[in-house]
A and B are shown apart, each in its own frame.
Chain A
């Protein structure tokens, strides 16, 4: 009953700047519901580029991307935005919180955009997510009153607000110190194990990668290994 929720088929991407440099070469893989996947590889091998394509933000590539049985090829900008809003949560290296809004409101924004729940319900759900991440006490503060680790946790709560099919992270601990990195990694592990949240995390941290269910290793724009381990 393992349902494939994201499938990359023969994805190629080149930059033309000014000469054409191929960055991603024939990327193929599937992600099934509940997968806890990490992507590792040297800096510059194309991990971020791949994630931007998988998250539908970058549409300039060759190959096929299928998310939740829907081909992304040829969808309009507004439709892609809807897919991102509904099905994908994204955590970046930088938190990208809006300082004009409270922490709570930041988490709520994608939920309000989705419009599936009333404003009260979205608020309630946002508080729940903040509670899971242990920062519900900060809900009414402005983001700039929070520490780096707390901000990143708010960003994770924001990625979770619409119960996405998959949460992607691009070196989400890249800006954090060791202690906060551990907290964030522990959160991802908990999301995967307790909530069966599908996760696709780019990381440099070997220890964290080792704790995931599946490691995809990249080099020079190619996938050189893709190992799933059997969970105990």
Chain B
């Protein structure tokens, strides 16, 4: 009963001042609209950029790194045990880049329930022979099917059919930038020199566009067997194993244990790509900051209109109190006004925010480096709508609370005497 009465009084005051309340509500609507649009767009971009990395990066990479010997001669001297050693003389030795016991590693991993899948790989330096000069390059020997299944290889092959790499012997898919330099097109045969000096002709069956032109200038892909032949190695020769896990968050822990278990170097995605997470979180923080700033500005609008309303309605407040409404009743009336501005303004804001992001979602966005993206990316995460809604209510509540408290403290005697 009481609530209904208070709501009724709030409504009447609100309607009597509908122009000002509309302006205040539009302020909230605008800020929530911007908040939703900004966050949807920003996190859409974040997701796109992250997926650029995540789709193609292994969660864990197993390999042998060339590095200096951990144990230097001086470490063996008993006299200097526990001291800090400056003398280091043993340089990296003839390390083998290939992984030992690849078969058993692969078998163990395939039976590990944490592993989603794995793709063996050979990475090797080469020269592309173009006329009189040699361009440095890197050939990635891949298991074509596994690479496509785990790392969406096909998404980045813009010209040609990726399966040709497996089906046509001695074939290569060139990075687009590299191909442009060599004036190579599909069907051409290019010459490649391997690190041990052997020259091999390879047939171009496709072009590859990763999104990073610098990468495409250097990288190209061949099948595992082509790469092994190129290097003159047996079919057990594998330099890297790329692993995808079922749960990416377990990567750091599992990388450590695989490193020890297989006695290889193991790198997890979190360590390799920490800079991307930083970028994402900075962009998200900025979006939130802008959205919340807008809301606070809208909050001041509500604060102003309520203060004005209370100033104009001193007499009404005084008589309400004189006829038996308590201070908290009066407070509830004005908080009610603020909240209804917040709720209606906020709801409209959520709707407009949705429409605006849906609009942005329709705008074409074509860039050579992102072949899979056709329009601006938008993330319709319900979380943003919830945060926007909750924030609009909290800000308007706070904006209304102070004027409402002032109203509740109005002394009717002072007002009535003043007449």
Residues on A lying within 8 angstroms of B by beta carbon are 48, 52, 55, 57-58, 77-78, 81-82, 84-86, 90, 92-94, 96-101, 109-110, 112-115, 158, 162
B323 touches A55 (CB 8 A): no
A100 touches B15 (CB 8 A): yes
A127 to B318, CA, bound (A): 24
Query: Which of B225-233, B337-345, B410-418 binds A?
Result: B410-418
| List of B residues within 8 angstroms of A85 by Cβ | 323-325
* Further pairs besides A78-B326, A81-B325, A85-B325: 13, Cβ < 8 Å: A48-B417, A52-B416, A52-B417, A57-B322, A57-B413, A57-B416, A85-B323, A100-B12, A109-B320, A110-B323, A113-B329, A114-B324, A162-B324
The one of A94, A99, A112, A158 in contact with B1, judged by C-beta atoms closer than 8 angstroms, is A112
| List of A residues within 8 angstroms of B15 by Cβ | 100
Q: Does B2 contact A (CB under 8 A)?
A: yes
A99 to B13, CA, bound (A): 10
A57 to B411, CA, bound (A): 8
A90 touches B322 (CB 8 A): yes
| List of A residues within 8 angstroms of B325 by Cβ | 81, 85, 113
| List of B residues within 8 angstroms of A92 by Cβ | 322, 416, 419
The one of B13, B315, B412 in contact with A57, judged by C-beta atoms closer than 8 angstroms, is B412
* Interface of chain B residues 29 through 87 with chain A (CB within 8 A): none
- Smallest CB-CB separation from B419: which chain A residue? A94
Q: Does B163 contact A (CB under 8 A)?
A: no
The one of A78, A99, A109 in contact with B323, judged by C-beta atoms closer than 8 angstroms, is A109
Q: A57-B412, A92-B419 are in contact. Are A84 and B323 (CB under 8 A)?
A: yes
Cβ distance A114 to chain B, nearest Cβ, rounded Å: 7
Cβ distance B392 to chain A, nearest Cβ, rounded Å: 26
| List of B residues within 8 angstroms of A113 by Cβ | 2, 5, 323-325, 329
Q: A57-B412, A58-B413 are in contact. Are A81 and B321 (CB under 8 A)?
A: yes
Q: Does B316 contact A (CB under 8 A)?
A: yes
Cβ distance A33 to chain B, nearest Cβ, rounded Å: 21
A88 to B22, CA, bound (A): 38
Q: A96-B319, A100-B16 are in contact. Are A86 and B1 (CB under 8 A)?
A: no
